[in-house]
Structure 1
Amino acid sequence: MAHKTSTMFATLHPDIIHTHILTRLDGATLASFASASSLTHRLCTQQQLWRRICIATWPSLLNPTASHVISTLPNTHRSLFSDAFPSLHHFSFLPRGPSPPSPPPPELISAVDVYYKGIPVLSRVKRTDTQKNWFLPSQFWVDALEPNEVVPTTVKFARRKDEEWLKHLEDNLTLSWIVMDPTRKRAANVSSRRAVSAQRHWLTREVEVMYAAVMAGERQGAATEMVQCVVKVTCCGKVGGEMQVREVNLVMEDCEGGQVSGKEGVVILQRAMENGERKRVELDGVEAKERFEKFTRLMRRKRESMRKREKARDLVSMLLAFLACLLFCFLAGL
């Protein structure tokens, strides 16, 4: 098969191959086609092809900051596509030994793209300074938009039942969040791409569409504690008018619902970029949603277990205090 492919392409003019064949392939097809033979590999590794594919897939990469980081990667856009597509789905980290964690990079670069029915409606690139005093000890949190920024879109709030509108957004509003480490020259897409949940905020009634990716955190004894990257897109607007995006943020939480610090989050992301499994998410998003719901159930169980333990400790403390009071009264009466 590989020999036939090489023979066929050897008879074609290079301009025909580049203009009429390779430029019509998407990234996944081009990567598969490159493995057919040494000839197709040579034809499919041209950086201009991969630059076109990356920009078509993630328009945010046109940003000068993102372009500069990509230019430092070993194979520029081809390296980025290999790291960022498909999304980081799940991985188990097994440390080789008690080696100290690497120092955090000076900054992380986030390239964020929101799509409606496959058409980009919002693109942002965010630099996160990881060496600021507030970042490392506080919760790992990255905002793609500036404070008080509201981004208009071409999406119209349809006149339909609320449940139908939420389901419509869950099915049609997709998101990519690529995190790049300029120091280690690696990247990963930490979004499930398809939404795992769409709901109304209980107080503001704004629409919150969420995307999630589960990954391995720190070792806890013989097991690996899991964490979850959650991207929340907050939308506002009126029926019949345009939908506006008011907030897009990335947070990391553990399976007890607790906060993951910036320092811990950077280490987890670095390990994920190097060891993470890139797995194609099913088109209907069922698998990603099942993982999110499973993680949420685990979080509820652990919270309930913590509440029971705290309640038991309170009861024991009250009993000890009561016994101490009785003992004090008894001794005082002697």
Structure 2
Amino acid sequence: MDPASAADISAVDDGAGSSISTIHSDVIQTHILTRLDGPALASAACASAQLRRLCAEDDLWKNICAATWPSLDDPLVRDVISAFPNGHRSIFYDSFPSLQPLPSTKKHLYRPSPSTELISAVDMYYKDTPIFSKVQRTDTQTGWFLCSTLWVDLLDPKEFVPTPVKYVPKDEEWLKHLEDNLSLSWILIDPTRKRSGNLSSRRPVSVQRHWLTRDLEILYSVTVARDQMSSECLQCTIKVTCGGKAGGEMHVRGVSLMVEDMEGKSMTGRESLGILQRAMESAERTKVTQEEAKGRYEKFLGMKRQRRERKQRIEKATDIISVMIIILVFVFFCSFMLF
């Protein structure tokens, strides 16, 4: 530390200054603001005009983003973020915390515009230590994307990623341990609109084994509004598939994203693009607990089940009515032939 900085700190310690304005700005930036995380830095920026100016430095937010989401340090992502209005501060504000449904009382002017690609920046953590990071580009202008079901796979079918986590094949307590300690972030970036959003609940909403393969399936989920004019919701579900040998390390074999509606129908790329763009621009960013995320996931599953059962009842009633009409027509025809 240079003598001037040391003198500034000493003066404050001795009571010579009564406000933070007495501390040299270099000391604040180098020895105070660099120790804060994102939420704390955002709060500090609201304290005074001086702190707001100092907290706007992009290098501060760049370091926070890289520490929070290692995938954002990828050269491709850094280049995209550099075009955002406020650089790394913009993407942090957009991506922390996860997207939540837009309240019906809040109105937001949304102007759709074409996007040429989406970028997925994904990080998986064990006990808050990164164990897997991946960046993937998705072309949104191909016919396959626009007309097919939206399904973003980060790994090839034969690809797997080793982790430092020990694999336990038969242990319910181990599943609960993973539920409490495995977290995931999926930041979807729209370079054209310069917006982003986190599509993961961070903590799992479900951890279970596949009934046939016995692979571990870990689900993360957020619910977003379909539009501002209805109560319809969509669910963005991220499925992580893991395997391994007993006593060895756990391997990540698959990480995928899909979007489905309340009918259980998977959305196409064209439909999903507009909905996700609207969510990135206008949805709330609210921190929720793991129990709240699981509750929303279970509620969505319940609504899907109710709609499926109602649809089945309607189809059954329609079939019965159709059969009755056919029988009546047959009886009438037979009566007409007899007379």
Q: TM-score, normalised by structure 2?
A: 0.90
Structure 1: give runs of 5+ residues left out of the alignment.
Answer: none
1:294 is aligned, of 289, 292, 299, to 299
How far apart are 1:158 and its partner, in Å? 3.9
Q: Does 1:155 align with 2:155?
A: no
- Deviations along 1:7-52, whole A, 9 cap, x unmatched? 6333223332222211110000000011000011111111100000
Aligned-partner Cα distance in 1 for 2:42–2:193: 23
Q: Does 1:71 align with 2:85?
A: no
Aligned-partner Cα distance in 2 for 1:195–1:264: 26
- Structure 1 residue aligned with 2:99: 88
Compare 318-327 and 71-80 and name the one that shifted more.
Answer: 318-327
SS in structure 2 opposite 1:311? helix
SS in structure 2 opposite 1:135? helix
In structure 2, relative to structure 1, the CA distance for the partners of 1:80 and 1:101 (3 Å cut) is closer
CA contact (8 A) 1:256 1:302 kept: yes
- Structure 2 residue aligned with 1:263: 270
- Structure 2 residue aligned with 1:329: 334
2:147 maps to amino acid: P
CA contact (8 A) 1:177 1:191 kept: yes
- Structure 2 residue aligned with 1:179: 188
SS in structure 2 opposite 1:43? helix
- Structure 2 residue aligned with 1:168: 177
Aligned-partner Cα distance in 1 for 2:280–2:53: 26
- Deviations along 1:157-199, whole A, 9 cap, x unmatched? 147x532121111111100000111111000001110111101
Aligned-partner Cα distance in 1 for 2:263–2:280: 24
CA contact (8 A) 1:101 1:267 kept: no
- Structure 1 residue aligned with 2:150: 140
How far apart are 1:95 and its partner, in Å? 9.7
SS in structure 1 opposite 2:44? helix
Aligned-partner Cα distance in 2 for 1:229–1:126: 17
- Which of 1 and 2 has greater Rg? 2
1:62 is aligned, of 69, 73, 76, to 73
Alignment root-mean-square deviation, CA: 2.1
Number of matched pairs: 324
CA contact (8 A) 1:107 1:130 kept: yes
- Deviations along 1:281-313, whole A, 9 cap, x unmatched? 23xx11111111111111111111111111111
In structure 2, relative to structure 1, the CA distance for the partners of 1:189 and 1:318 (3 Å cut) is same
Aligned ranges 1:1-334 → 2 under 5 Å: 8-92=19-103, 102-158=112-168, 161-218=170-227, 223-282=230-289, 285-334=290-339
2:146 maps to amino acid: L
How far apart are 1:330 and its partner, in Å? 2.7
How far apart are 1:239 and its partner, in Å? 1.8
Aligned-partner Cα distance in 2 for 1:216–1:100: 13
SS in structure 1 opposite 2:94? helix
Aligned-partner Cα distance in 1 for 2:110–2:33: 45
Aligned-partner Cα distance in 1 for 2:251–2:268: 30
CA contact (8 A) 2:167 2:243 kept: no
- Deviations along 1:121-143, whole A, 9 cap, x unmatched? 11011111111111112212111
Structure 2: give runs of 5+ residues left out of the alignment.
Answer: 1-14
Aligned-partner Cα distance in 1 for 2:213–2:182: 20
1:326 maps to amino acid: V
Aligned-partner Cα distance in 1 for 2:114–2:232: 21
How far apart are 1:71 and its partner, in Å? 0.8
SS in structure 1 opposite 2:146? coil
- Structure 1 residue aligned with 2:5: none
